[in-house]
Amino acid sequence: MNMHENARMTVHGRVLLVNRIVAGGWRVADAARAAGISERTAYKWLARFRAGGERMLHDRSSAPGRMPHATPVA
């Protein structure tokens, strides 16, 4: 997947952020400031990590999961 040109963090930065909070004992506000992101965004990545581990920190596709009104193949 291509990295968005305006994206603030890569998957490696997200892993570092979460490791600082979980293993390093950093406060979320301090880890967010060090990463150059908002506290709200840091909490978002932390919640995703807690929900599914490191795999949840990877970029996701913006394509819809399904298209209920798509034109039939035939």
Angle between helices 28-35 and 39-52 (to 10 degrees): 110
pLDDT score of 62: 82
- Quote the CA–CA distance of 49 and 42 in Å, as a whole number: 11
Measure the CA angle with vertex 45, ends 63 and 37; round to 5°.
Answer: 105
Q: What is the pLDDT of residues 14-73, one digit of tens each?
A: 999 999 999 999 999 999 999 999 999 999 999 999 999 999 998 888 888 888 888 888
**Is the Cβ–Cβ distance between 17 and 24 less than 8 Å?**
no
Q: What is the pLDDT of residues 6-17, one digit of tens each?
A: 667 889 999 999
Q: Where are the domains of the chain?
A: 26-59
pLDDT for 8 equals 73
Q: How confident is the model at residue 1 (pLDDT cuts 50, 70, 90)?
A: low
Q: What is the pTM of this model?
A: 0.75
